[in-house]
Structure 1
Amino acid sequence: MSTSVNTEPVINLSAQSIRIQGEPVLLMSASLFYFRIPHQLWRERMEQVKESGYNCIDVYFPWNYHEREEGSWDFKGQRDVAAFLQLAQEVGLWVVARPGPYICSEWDGGALPAYLFAKDEVQIRQNDPAYLAHVSRWFDQILPILKAYEVGAGGTVICVQLDNELDFFACDDPEGYIGALRDMAIAGSLTIPLIACAGQGGLFEASGLADGVIPTCNFYPNDRDPEFEHKVREYRDRLANQDYPLMVTETNRSHYLLRRLLSAGAKLLGPYLQVSGTDFGFTNATNNWGKPLAFLTSDYDFHGMISPEGHVRKEAYEGRLLSRIIDTYGRAIAEAAPVTDDTWSLQAAQDSKWVYGPHLLALQGGGKLIFLTNGSDDAQSVTLAHDAPESESKQLEVNLPGGRSIIVPTAIPLTLWGMKGELVQAGAELYDALANESGAVLAFHSATSFEIELDINEVAAIDTDSAQANRDQNRIRITLSPTEEKDSSATIMLQDGRRIILVGTTLGKALYSTGIDETGSIYSSIPEALISLESEADTDWRIAVGDGAASMSEGTESGEAIRTERADFLERNGIYRGYAWYEGVVPSLAKPAEGLLVHSGSDVVSLYADGEYAGTVTPGGSSRYVAFDAPRSLSALTARVEIWGHTNFDDSRLPGLKLHALKGIQGLSAVLSKVNLTSNWRFKRQDESGMSEADVGQLDDKDWAIVSFGGWLSPANPAHEVLRRSYVPSSEASSFIVQFDGVEATGQLFVDGRLAGSINEFDPFLDITNLVQPGVQTQLTVVLERPLGRSAGRVFVYETVEAGNWRITAAEEEGLLAHAAQAESSAEKAAFPLQLGSGDVAWLYGTAINSDSKNGWRVHVAGEHLKLTVFFDDTIVGRLWLPGGLARPVMTGGDPCSFYLPGPWFNQEASRLSIMLEAIDPQTPGVLSSLTFRSV
C-alpha cells in the first residue's frame, strides 16, 4: 500500500476495476465503527481485520455523536476522528468514509441530531435549504478531517459516501438533494470519488444519478437464494453501461455470500458489521425490526468475524481464505469480468436443484474461474460438462462441500506465477500460490481426491510421491488425495531446472493456513478454544430503593424544571436523550377514573397515579390505555419517560417510526369511561375506497342495514364499506379519543362530516376532541377498505379529562449519576436474588476489578420484569430489558441480557458499577437473579 503525496487524481473507478494509485485493487471492506469500540482498542481491531484478509474498512461518522447540543462540537478522546484515520493509515487499511448526514446504522436517529426534529421548518433528507444549512455546518466540521486523510494526501480514505440508502426514504428530489451534498463535498476540496448507496436497488432513488456521484449497491438476500447471481449481474451490467464498477457497500457477513458476489463481478465486497461493538450511553435506536416496533440493544453484534469484546470467530478464517484466493490471482482477478459461457454446464450432481452455477469470471490476461455454490448442507459430487475441442477434457469432477461456494480454475496461464504453460482445469479450489526463482507452488484444498490437468512443455520428470500422474505429451493429469492426516503433492520438474509443486490439503488446514513454503509445505495454526472464566465478582453489592414516581433530577444540577399547561414532546423542550419526568395535575373529576390514556407516547412510559404505579407502556408514538384494577379518584399524575432512541429507519406504520418522530408524550388523561360503540352501525356497500367530506355530507342512511361494526359478510376482496352511527359525548369529559381495537383494515373516520383522520391497525387511535361538543349528539362515519377474511375490530371511545399544569424535568448520564450518588447514603447490603416491587426504582452499587487477562468482562444478567441502565464508572455500558411483561418490545441487534466492561476502562484498582433498576410490570415484581462475570 502506497500513501505517497500525489497532486494527480489517485483513484480511478471504471467498469473494469478500482485503481488506487494506478494499481487495480479488489477491495474487501469490513465495517469498523470507532464510536462503538473503546479508542484504546481501535488499533487492535484494525489489526484483526487486516489479519482476517481485509484490505479496507468502512466507517460511519455520526453527526449527533459529535454535536450533542446544537452548535457544540466534540472531536476529542473517544470522538477523535483524526486519530482513528491516522491508525488506519498506519495499519495499512483503505477507508470508505460515510459521513451521512444520515447514516442509519441502528444508531439514535440515524445520526441526525434530535434538535432538527423539533424545527418545523426543517425537512430532513430533502433538497431543503433549511435542512441543508444545518448539514453544511456538519460537513464544515467533518470534511476537512477526511480531506486531510485522503489517498494522495498521506492518508488512506479512498471515497466518501453521501447520505445512506436514500431509496428507503421518500425523498422528493434525490438528484437535487444528492447534488447539494456533492457540491458541499466539492467545496470542501475533496478530490476522491463520491458515492451513494442503494438499499433496495433504487439507483436513481438513492443517488439521483447526480453528476459526479457513483451509485453503489447494498444487498441483503437470503444467502442461499438460487437466483442471487442473476440479480447482481443485472446491477453490474447497468453500472458497467455507465463505466462504473459494481461496489457492494453493504451485504451479509458470510464469505459464502461474498464469493457469490465476486462471481457476479463485484469490485468492492463490503459485508456490514464484521466488527461488532457496543452502543455506549444513550445512543441506541428504535426501528421496525419488530412487530413492527423494536428496541436496539446496547450490544451491537450481528455475529460477524469479530465479537464486541474482540474475540475472533471462525468466519474470520473464511475471510482470510477468500483473501488468499484473491491474492493468488492478483490483478487478473481485480480486473476480471463475469461472462456467460455456455461451454460449461452442470451435467450431474446428487441433487442438482441445490447446485447454483456454474458462474464464470473471466480473468484479465486469460483464463476463467468457475464458481459453484451448494445451497444445501450436504456435500455433493458434481460433474461439469465442457463443450471443448477434441484435444481438451470434456468434463470436470468437483467435490462441492455442503453449505459452501467454491472457485475452481480453468485455462489459467501459468505466467501468473512466472511459469510457462497452462493450468487447464482443476477439480478443487486453488487457494494459495508461491512463485520464486526456483519455480512455483500451487496449493489446493478438497475433502476428496481430485484431478489437476496442465499443459506444459519441456517437462523433465514428475515426482508423484503421494499422488498419481498421467502424461500424454504436453498434457499432464495429476490426482491428489489429501487426508486429515497427510497432504498430497506432486512435483513437475522442468528442463530448465525449475519446478512446479502441486499440493492438496483439506479445507480445515486451508482455513487455518499461515502460509506455504517453496518445498510445498503448508503451515497452519488452529486457534485454541476460547476459555472464558466465570466469576460472581468479588464485590459487596448494596442497594438503595427509591420512589419510582419521583424525578431523579430533584436536588441535582440537572437543570431547571420546565412549566407548561399542556404536555408536549421532549425535543420541543430541549430534551434530546435520557430520562424525563412529566408531573401533571388532574382537574376535579365528576366520577372516579377507570384508567389512564397516554397520548402519542414513546419510547418507554411508566405511569404513576398519586404516586402509585399504574403500569408501563411502549406505544411507539401511538396512544395507549392503562386500566386500573378498580375505579379511583385522582389528583396528580406522573409519567417517567425514557428516550430509548430515535428511530434509525423511516416507517409509516407507527408514528414513532417516522424518521423525524418526537419522543415523550403529548398528553395524559384520566379515563372516565371506555364506551363500546361496536354495535348498531348503519351499513352500505360501495364500489370504491375513500370519500371526500362533500361525499360524506350527501349520504342518506335512513334505509341502510343495521349491523355490528364490520359484521356485514361480503364476497368482495377487498370490501369497500361505509358505516355510520350516532354518539353523544359525555358532558363530564373534556377530551375524546376513538380506538379501532383489533382493526385489520384501512379507512377514514369522519365526525359530523369532517375528516378526523386515517384508520390503520398499527396506530388505531384518533383524537376527535376538537370535532365534538360534550353532551351534543355526534355522527360518526367510517369509510373502510377491508381485505377478505380480515377483521374490522371493535370501536371504543375514551371519554377523558386531560391533566394540565405540567412540570417537566430531565436527566442524562450526568444527572443520573448525581442522583445515584445522592441516593447511596441510604443503600443497604444486597444479596441475590434481588426482588423489586412493581413500579419501584433502585440503584444497585458494586465494584469490579479487571480480569486476569486485563481484557475486561462480559457480564450476563439473569432475571425478569426489570430494566437496567448500567454505569461503568461514568459511562453507560448497557441498557437492558430482561424478559417478562406485556410492555417489553422486541429487543434486537445483539444480546439483550448482557453487557461488556472493556478492559482498558478499568482503573488500576477497582472500578465502580452503578446500576439503575426499574421494575416495569404492574402484576409481577422485578427479579434480579444474578450477575455472572465471564472474562474476555
Structure 2
Amino acid sequence: MNMETKSGVPLQLSASSLRIGGQAEIILCASLFYFRIPRALWRERMEQVKAFGYNAIDVYFPWNYHERAEGSWDFTGERDAEAFLQQAAEAGLWVVARPGPYICSEWDGGGLPAYLYAKPEMTIRSADPAYMAAVKKWYERIIPLLAKYELNRGGTVLCVQIENELDFYDCPDPAAYIAALRDLAIEGGIESPLIACAGQGGLYEASGLVDGVVPTCNFYPNDRDPAFEAKAASYERRLAEMDVPLMVTETNRSHFLLRRLLSCGAKLVGPYLQVSGTNFGFTNGTNNWGDPLAFMTSDYDFHGMISPEGHVRKEAYEGRLMRRVIRNYGNALAEAATAPADGIASIDGGKPAGGSLLERQLELVGGGHLLFLANVGETAETVALRLRQQGEAVIPQATRLQSIPSRCAILPVDVPLETWGAEGTLRYATAELSDVFRAAGRTVMVFHAELGQEGEISLALGQAATLLEARNMNANGVQAQTHAQEQAQDQAEAGEILLTFRAEAGRQAACTLELADGQTLVVIGLERQDALLLHGIEEDGSLAFEQEQAYDLEPHELNIGWSAQVLQPTESMSEASPTALVEAEFLEEHGIYRGFAWYKANSGAPADADVQGLLILQGSDAISLYADTAFIGTCTPGGGSRFLPSGGVGGNCELTARVEIWGHTNFDDARLPGLRLDSMKGLRGITAVSGIQRLTSNWRVLRVGSRIADPALLGAACDDSDWAFVSFGGWLSPDHPAFEYYRRRFTASGKADSFTLQFKGIQSLAHVYVNGVSAGHVNPFDPYLDITAHVQPGEETLVAVFLERVLGLPAGEVTLYEGSAARNWQLSACGEEELLAHAQRHEADAAPSELPIALAAGGTAWLYGSLPEEARDIPGGWRVEAEGSGMKLTVLLNGTIVGRLWTAGGAARPVFSGGDQRSFYLPGAWMREPGNGLAILLEAVEAGETSQLERLIFTPVGLPAERNSGEG
C-alpha cells in the first residue's frame, strides 16, 4: 500500500514524525462536538481546550443531524458546521474532521439516517451501489465544506477520517468500501491526508489498507493494564513499516494513560470526549452497554476535562502539565523514536512486587532519553533505577524515588542542556521537568515531585559554577548556606552538581548557579499540585500561579410557578390524521425517524375471549401498552418480543401502543434484533393471548456429534419412536459442547391465528424447525420466536429443535402463546416540533400545581414551569436533578428538548449508560428575555404502581465557589 503524503500538503507523515508546515508536532486532540454544545458556547469550549494543553480537536459530523429526512438538509443555526470550523480556525485549533458516514459516538444510529434502513435492497456500510449513492449525497455537502477549511486553504483541518471503527462491523469488503469513500472525498476536494481508525485493532478490516488512507488506532484499555505498552508498541512498529506514525484517534481520558501512549511513540493522542456535552432532542442512541441493551442518557459525559455544562475538572490540569512537559523538549521529543526502556535503564533488583513499570523510553533527537516510570498498582513503592549508559549507576544517589499509583513520571536521562540553549548535560532527574524559561542570560528550569517526596537532579555543566543561592534545596547533598556553602562551591568548580529537594505544598525549593560563561541557571523544585497550578514564568524568573477552578455546587431555591394538565394517555399527540395500515409496520417504513408514535388496533379477539395477556412482536424502543383505557405495562424488548400479562382484559378491545424511539443503535451487535445497526423501530404486531401451552415436558431427544443439522432428523418422516423421552434440554451429556435434537408435537388451537414460542431462561443456542421447515433461531437474549407462518390452526404441529449447549447450561422452559393477531391498524406520530405544539395547545388549560406530583399507572401529563427572572442571572444556566419513581420525563426548555430521563426503580426501566441518569442541563445561552418556561411530559410507566416526581433540584452552572481567604 502507498502511504506517501502528497507534497505541498501542510500535514506530512513519516514513521518518526508528524509535521505541520515542516514543524514536527505532538498533537493532543480533544473531542469537541458542536452538535452536543449550544452554538453560543462553541468558542468558550475551544478556549478551554486550548488553555489546558490541547492544540487540536476532533469533531464528528453526523449525517442525520443535517439530513433530517430524505432530501431535507439543514446547516443553519445550531447545525451550522461551517461556523464551527470558522471558530476553530479563529481559535487556532487544528481539526481532525470525522464526517463518517458512520460515526458511532453513542448518537442516534451512529449518524446514519434512519430512512436508509427502510430500503431493503441496500447494504449499509459497504460498497453497495445503492448505499454509496446515498453517501455521495452526504459527501457532496460535507466534503467541500471540510476542504474549504483545510490548512492549505486558510483553515485548520489537518486530516479527514472516513468511516469509523469499521473493524467492529461485518463489512463484506473493507478495501472496496474504503476505496470508494476515499474516491468520493478526493472528488470533493480533500487534499489533506485521509485516515481510517481501527476500533479493535484490525487495521485491514478498518481501512482495507488501501492506497491513500492512513490507518490509525483507537485504544480503550484498562488504564492500569500492565501489558498495554507492549500492545501499543506493536502497532507503532507495524505502522512504521508503512512509514506512518502511531496516531491514536481515540482512547481514554486519563493523562496517566496518555503519557503511557506518548512513551510508545504516539504522535497524535486523541482522548475521546475530554469535552462532554448533551444529547439534545431525540438524538440519543441505544447500544450494547447494558444487558445487553442500554439506553443512552441525554447527559453525555465520560468524566473528561470539561463537564457538559462547562465546568473545568481536575483532569484538565493534568492535560496542561502534560503539554508543558512536551513543549519543554520541543522538536527533540516531537521527532523522538520509541524503544524498550531496558536498552538504557531498568528497575534495580528486577520487577518490584507492586505495580511499577519501566517499559518504554523515547530517544530524543539530538541526544538524551526520556524514561516513563508508571505505576499500575494500588500502592506507592520505593524504587531505584539502574542506568546502563552511566556505568550501571543506581539512582537516586542521595534520596528515595517513589512510584505513585496512576502516575507516569517522565524522567530525563543524558539530555543535552543545549536543548534549552545552555551548555552541559542533564544527567538525570527523578523529578519531572515541567517548565523551562530562557531570557537575557538566565535559564530557569522547574522540576516537580509528589507531595512529601524527594527530587534529585544531576547536572554535568562542563564548566565551573558558582552557587549564588540555595533555598530549601541541597547542592551536592549539603545544605547550601554558611560553611556548607563553601563545601558545595568546591564541588561546583568541576560543574558536577547534584541537587535535591523535598516537595512540600506551597513551598518553592530553588538553587541559583552562576556559570563561568556568565549565564545564570536557576533550578526550582515544586510539589506536584503546585506545578499543576503553575500558570507561567515571569520575565524576572519568578513563578506565577493560579487557583484551581472550583464551583458552587449547592442547590439553589427557585420560585417556580408550576401548573399541570393531565392527558388522555391513549390519545395521539399528533394533529395529523392517522395512517391506516393493513398490518403493523416499522416506523421508518412510514418516514418516522425520531420521537413518539401511536399504534392503534382492534385486538382481533372475540368479545367472549379470555385474554390472558398481550404479546408484543418485534418491538422497540419504549412501548407503553393499553387495552381500551386499561394500562397493561411498559416494556423495552430491544427489537424482540415480550409477553405482558393482562388478566381481566376482554376481547374485541382497542389496543394502543405508545412507542418512543429512544434512539437507533449506534453499534452493531447480533445478540438482539434491535441492536443490529440497520434495525427499525416500532413493532410488527400484537397478539391477544387466549391460550398458553406449557411444552417443556416430553420431548424426544437424540444426541449427535456434529454441529451441522441433518434435515432427515427434522421433518415428519423421521421415526423418533426409539429416542428417549426427557424434558426439553434435560439430556445429561458428557459432550462439551453438546449437540442434540429435540422433537415434540402439539395441537394448535383452532381459534387462534397467532402462535409464538418462548424459551424462557434458555442459555443455549437453538435452531427451531416447524413441520420440517426452519422457523428461526433462539438465543438467551431473544428467547421468543413467532412460528405463525408454519402452523395450521387446529392441526398437529411438529417442533424440532437443534440445540447446542455448553457445560450443561439450561435450555429453558418452553411455552406456546396462542391467540388473535391485532388488526385494523392505525399509525400516527410526532417529533420534537409536534411535541412542542401539543404542549402549547394544552398549556392554557393547565391548573396550578406543585411538586411532588403523582400519576396513576399509565397516566400522562404536561407539567409546566415558569422560571423566575433570577434564573437568567446565572449565565451558565442550571443543572437540574430529578427525584422520583416510575416516571419518564421529556423536558423542553423554551421549545427545545434538553433532557429525557427515566427515574430510578421499577421492573420496566432499562439499563442507562453514557452519562448522568438523574439530571439534565438548562443552558444559560438558551435562556431568553422575557419569560423562560419548562414543559415536561410525564409518563407513569410502572404497571400497578403510582408514579411520582418528588422534586427537581436546581444547581447553578459556572458560579465560582466561595473561597476561605483566611489562614487555615
The residue number in structure 2 matching 1:563 is: 580
The residue number in structure 2 matching 1:128 is: 128
920, 924, 928: which is aligned to 2:949?
Answer: 928
Deviation at 1:909, TM superposition (A): 2.2
The residue number in structure 1 matching 2:464 is: 459
Contact 2:297/2:917 (8 A) holds in 1 = yes
The residue number in structure 2 matching 1:628 is: 646
Contact 1:851/1:935 (8 A) holds in 2 = no
The residue number in structure 2 matching 1:26 is: 26
836, 861, 864: which is aligned to 1:817?
Answer: 836
CA distance in 2, matches of 1:291, 1:531: 36
CA distance in 1, matches of 2:800, 2:540: 86
The residue number in structure 2 matching 1:450 is: 455
1:721 equivalenced with 2:724 (yes/no): no
CA distance in 2, matches of 1:529, 1:829: 38
Contact 1:858/1:900 (8 A) holds in 2 = yes
1:41 equivalenced with 2:46 (yes/no): no
Deviation at 1:798, TM superposition (A): 0.7
Deviation at 1:508, TM superposition (A): 0.6
The residue number in structure 2 matching 1:505 is: 526
The equivalences for 1:147-186 within 5 A come to 147-186=147-186
* Cα distance change on mapping 1:440 and 1:217 into 2, 3 Å: same
786, 793, 797: which is aligned to 1:774?
Answer: 793
Secondary structure at the aligned position of 2:843 is classed as helix
Contact 1:605/1:639 (8 A) holds in 2 = yes
404, 416, 424: which is aligned to 1:401?
Answer: 404
Deviation at 1:462, TM superposition (A): 1.9
The one-letter code sitting in structure 2 at the alignment partner of 1:450 is G
The equivalences for 1:623-702 within 5 A come to 623-630=641-648, 632-697=650-715, 699-702=718-721
Deviation at 1:519, TM superposition (A): 5.0
The residue number in structure 2 matching 1:424 is: 427
Secondary structure at the aligned position of 1:352 is classed as coil
CA distance in 2, matches of 1:516, 1:899: 40
CA distance in 2, matches of 1:115, 1:536: 45
* Cα distance change on mapping 1:543 and 1:489 into 2, 3 Å: same
The equivalences for 1:145-294 within 5 A come to 145-294=145-294
1:905 equivalenced with 2:926 (yes/no): yes
TM-score where L is the length of structure 1: 0.97
Contact 2:354/2:379 (8 A) holds in 1 = no
Q: How big is each residue's C-alpha offset from its partner over 1:7-56, in whole Å with a ceiling of 9 and x where there is no partner? A: 93211011111111111110000000000000000000000000011000
The residue number in structure 1 matching 2:485 is: none
Deviation at 1:586, TM superposition (A): 2.4
The residue number in structure 1 matching 2:301 is: 301
Q: How big is each residue's C-alpha offset from its partner over 1:168-212, in whole Å with a ceiling of 9 and x where there is no partner? A: 000000000000000001101211000000000000000000110
Structure 2 residues without counterparts, runs of 5 or longer:
1-5, 477-490, 958-968
Secondary structure at the aligned position of 1:534 is classed as coil
CA distance in 1, matches of 2:936, 2:669: 33
The equivalences for 1:30-109 within 5 A come to 30-109=30-109
1:896 equivalenced with 2:902 (yes/no): no
Q: How big is each residue's C-alpha offset from its partner over 1:185-244, in whole Å with a ceiling of 9 and x where there is no partner? A: 110121100000000000000000011000000000000000100000000000000001
Q: Which moved more, 1:81-90 or 1:429-438?
A: 429-438
Secondary structure at the aligned position of 1:260 is classed as helix
Q: How big is each residue's C-alpha offset from its partner over 1:565-594, in whole Å with a ceiling of 9 and x where there is no partner? A: 100100001111100000101234262211
1:750 equivalenced with 2:769 (yes/no): yes
Q: Give the count of matched residue pairs.
A: 927
The equivalences for 1:837-848 within 5 A come to 837-848=856-867
CA distance in 2, matches of 1:894, 1:822: 33
CA distance in 2, matches of 1:307, 1:461: 50
CA distance in 2, matches of 1:634, 1:220: 54
TM-score where L is the length of structure 2: 0.94
The residue number in structure 2 matching 1:584 is: 601
The residue number in structure 2 matching 1:761 is: 780
The residue number in structure 2 matching 1:3 is: none
The residue number in structure 1 matching 2:964 is: none
476, 487, 506: which is aligned to 2:497?
Answer: 476
Q: Which moved more, 1:239-248 or 1:623-632?
A: 623-632
Q: How big is each residue's C-alpha offset from its partner over 1:106-141, in whole Å with a ceiling of 9 and x where there is no partner? A: 000000000000001111001111000000000000
Deviation at 1:550, TM superposition (A): 1.0
C-alpha root-mean-square deviation of aligned residues, in Å? 1.6
Deviation at 1:395, TM superposition (A): 5.9
The one-letter code sitting in structure 2 at the alignment partner of 1:648 is N
Structure 1 residues without counterparts, runs of 5 or longer:
1-5
* Cα distance change on mapping 1:633 and 1:805 into 2, 3 Å: closer
Contact 1:480/1:503 (8 A) holds in 2 = no
* Cα distance change on mapping 1:809 and 1:459 into 2, 3 Å: same
CA distance in 2, matches of 1:535, 1:393: 58
* Cα distance change on mapping 1:16 and 1:613 into 2, 3 Å: same
Q: How big is each residue's C-alpha offset from its partner over 1:367-421, in whole Å with a ceiling of 9 and x where there is no partner? A: 1000011113432221011223549666665322232111000010111100111
Q: Which moved more, 1:763-772 or 1:388-397?
A: 388-397
Q: Which moved more, 1:536-545 or 1:115-124?
A: 536-545
627, 633, 636: which is aligned to 1:618?
Answer: 636
* Cα distance change on mapping 1:399 and 1:648 into 2, 3 Å: same
* Cα distance change on mapping 1:36 and 1:57 into 2, 3 Å: same
The residue number in structure 1 matching 2:848 is: 829
Contact 2:159/2:194 (8 A) holds in 1 = yes
1:549 equivalenced with 2:566 (yes/no): no
1:574 equivalenced with 2:591 (yes/no): yes
Secondary structure at the aligned position of 1:909 is classed as coil
CA distance in 2, matches of 1:449, 1:768: 73
The residue number in structure 1 matching 2:480 is: none
The residue number in structure 2 matching 1:879 is: 900
Q: How big is each residue's C-alpha offset from its partner over 1:709-755, in whole Å with a ceiling of 9 and x where there is no partner? A: 11222222222111111111100100101111110000211111111
Contact 1:62/1:99 (8 A) holds in 2 = yes
Q: Which moved more, 1:837-846 or 1:692-701?
A: 692-701
Deviation at 1:490, TM superposition (A): 1.2
CA distance in 2, matches of 1:926, 1:256: 44
CA distance in 2, matches of 1:110, 1:83: 23
Contact 2:467/2:513 (8 A) holds in 1 = yes
Secondary structure at the aligned position of 1:330 is classed as helix
CA distance in 1, matches of 2:294, 2:391: 62
Contact 2:570/2:626 (8 A) holds in 1 = yes
Secondary structure at the aligned position of 1:826 is classed as coil
Contact 2:11/2:21 (8 A) holds in 1 = yes
Q: How big is each residue's C-alpha offset from its partner over 1:280-327, in whole Å with a ceiling of 9 and x where there is no partner? A: 101000000000000000000111000011000000000000000000
The one-letter code sitting in structure 2 at the alignment partner of 1:268 is L
The one-letter code sitting in structure 2 at the alignment partner of 1:704 is W
* Cα distance change on mapping 1:378 and 1:587 into 2, 3 Å: closer
Deviation at 1:350, TM superposition (A): 10
422, 431, 441: which is aligned to 1:438?
Answer: 441
* Cα distance change on mapping 1:501 and 1:632 into 2, 3 Å: same
The residue number in structure 2 matching 1:112 is: 112
Identity percentage over the alignment? 52
Secondary structure at the aligned position of 2:561 is classed as coil
Deviation at 1:441, TM superposition (A): 1.1
Contact 1:151/1:158 (8 A) holds in 2 = yes
CA distance in 1, matches of 2:359, 2:677: 43
Contact 2:604/2:651 (8 A) holds in 1 = no
The residue number in structure 2 matching 1:415 is: 418
Deviation at 1:437, TM superposition (A): 2.9
Deviation at 1:516, TM superposition (A): 2.0
The one-letter code sitting in structure 2 at the alignment partner of 1:568 is E
The one-letter code sitting in structure 1 at the alignment partner of 2:16 is Q
The residue number in structure 2 matching 1:489 is: 510
CA distance in 2, matches of 1:8, 1:686: 66
